[in-house]
Amino acid sequence: MPKFKTHKGAAKRVRVTGTGKLMHEHTNNQHKFEYKSSDRKRRLAGMAEFSPAETKRIRKLLGR
């Protein structure tokens, strides 16, 4: 049986915390900030945790 390969696209976008949670950046937070409100830009800052349903799928991609 071949070895499992990490999905590199997922690995570049997901961070695993020390407690094992999977975090990702918010969407719509890369460019075109002129028309976004300050409230919206603040809300999009930082990282967000994946939902439980997505966590299972992402873990498989990461080989964890």
Helix segments in 4-51, DSSP class H = 8-13, 38-44
Phi–psi pair at 46, nearest 5 degrees: 85, -170
Inform me whether the pLDDT recorded for 49 exceeds 90. Answer: yes
Average pLDDT over residues 19-41: 92
What's the average model confidence in pLDDT over 26-36? 90
Residues 8, 27: Cα–Cα separation, whole Å: 19
Residue 28 confidence (pLDDT): 87
The letter for the amino acid at 27 is T
**Sign of the alpha-carbon torsion through 5, 16, 23, 52:** positive
Report the candidate in 25, 11, 22, 12 with the shortest Cα–Cα distance to residue 63. 11
pLDDT for residue 21: 95
Give me the mean pLDDT over the 36-56 stretch.
93
Residue boundaries of the structural domains of the chain:
8-62
The pLDDT of 43-50, averaged and rounded, is 94
Return the CATH class of domain 8-62.
few secondary structures
